[in-house]
Amino acid sequence: MNQQGYNPNIPVHQHSPQVAASQQGVNQNATTPTQNVPAAAPAQPAQQRDLNLLTLCRIGQETVQDIVTRFQEVFSILKQVQPPNGTQPGLTSSMDKKLKVQEQFRTIRLLFKRLRLLYEKCSDTQGIEYPHIMSFIPLKDEPDNRPEPIYTEDYKKTLQENKELTEIVSAKNRQLREVIDKLRIIIWEINTMLSMRRS
């Protein structure tokens, strides 16, 4: 069984022709896929990708939040500063806090520079020119000559009835005003007579 099988320690040409042929076929099949695999395309660097306006605004928002956070840290450090007492631990603590504040201010300066660059990048990226509001208002030199709509007889009759009813209601309102004014005058005269009788 071992004499007919393939022994990896024996060279291929010393095996039987069937075993050698099968082993050569396996080697060819094993090497063929690697020859057909295309070479991977080089990845584009991240710096060449165009950043859209939304991404720039998000980065700017994060930068502003970072600036505010660092200012809060500066204020907390300054709040903890104690007057110098002449001792070595006090001087060491004051020097450490001074270095921390200077480091925070250097970082804040860099963040402001980055925020300025983001602002300029956003201004260049948007490329939108906002026209004046008056340009949205259409101006016409001549009035529209629209044909008058053609009304039916029923519509004209209903319109005439509406006009008559409106006139009647207006007349009733005038009459009510006159009645109210007369009632006021009568009530005023009655009150005057009662006051004179009591006196």
Residue 142 forms part of a structural domain? no
Residue 45 has a pLDDT of 45
Residue 37 forms part of a structural domain? no
Domain around 198: 170-199
Answer with the one of 72, 103, 125 that is the final residue of a domain. Answer: 125
Residue 187 forms part of a structural domain? yes
- On whether the CB atoms of residues 82 and 90 are closer than 8 A, the answer is yes
Residue 159 CA to its chain's centroid (Å)? 53
Answer with the one of 125, 145, 161 that is the final residue of a domain. Answer: 125
Cα–Cα distance for residue pair 137/185, rounded to 1 Å: 56
Q: Percent of the chain, pLDDT > 70? A: 63
Q: Percent of the chain, pLDDT > 90? A: 34
Residue 161 forms part of a structural domain? no
Residue 115 forms part of a structural domain? yes
Q: Indicate whether 120 and 177 sit together in one domain.
A: no
Cα–Cα distance for residue pair 199/196, rounded to 1 Å: 5
Domains contained in the chain, number: 2
Query: Is 50 exceeded by the pLDDT of residue 32?
Result: no
Residue 91 has a pLDDT of 82
Q: Indicate whether 115 and 179 sit together in one domain.
A: no
- Which residue would you say has higher pLDDT here, 56 or 69? 69
Q: Indicate whether 120 and 174 sit together in one domain.
A: no
For 169-197, write each residue's pLDDT tens digit.
999 999 999 999 999 999 999 989 988 88
Q: Which of 26-30, 76-80, 147-151, 176-180 has the lowest mean pLDDT?
A: 26-30
Query: DSSP string covering the chain, please?
Result: -TTTS--TTS-GGGS-HHHHHHHHHHHHHHHHHHHHSPPPPPPPPGGGSPP-HHHHHHHHHHHHHHHHHHHHHHHHHHHT-----SSHHHHHHHHHHHHHHHHHHHHHHHHHHHHHHHHHHHHHHH--PPPPGGGGS---SS---PPPPPPPHHHHHHHHHHHHHHHHHHHHHHHHHHHHHHHHHHHHHHHHHHHHHH-
Mean pLDDT over each residue of the chain, to the nearest integer: 75
Answer with the one of 125, 156, 187 that is the final residue of a domain. Answer: 125
For 127-167, write each residue's pLDDT tens digit.
556 666 667 776 666 666 667 777 788 888 999 999 999 99
- Which residue would you say has higher pLDDT here, 41 or 68? 68
Residue 82 forms part of a structural domain? yes
Query: Is 80 exceeded by the pLDDT of residue 118?
Result: yes
Averaged pLDDT for residues 27-39: 45
Contacts of 118 (CB under 8 A, 6+ apart): 56, 59, 60, 63
Confidence bin at 49 (pLDDT 50/70/90): very low
Residue 73 forms part of a structural domain? yes
- On whether the CB atoms of residues 67 and 104 are closer than 8 A, the answer is no
Residue 114 forms part of a structural domain? yes
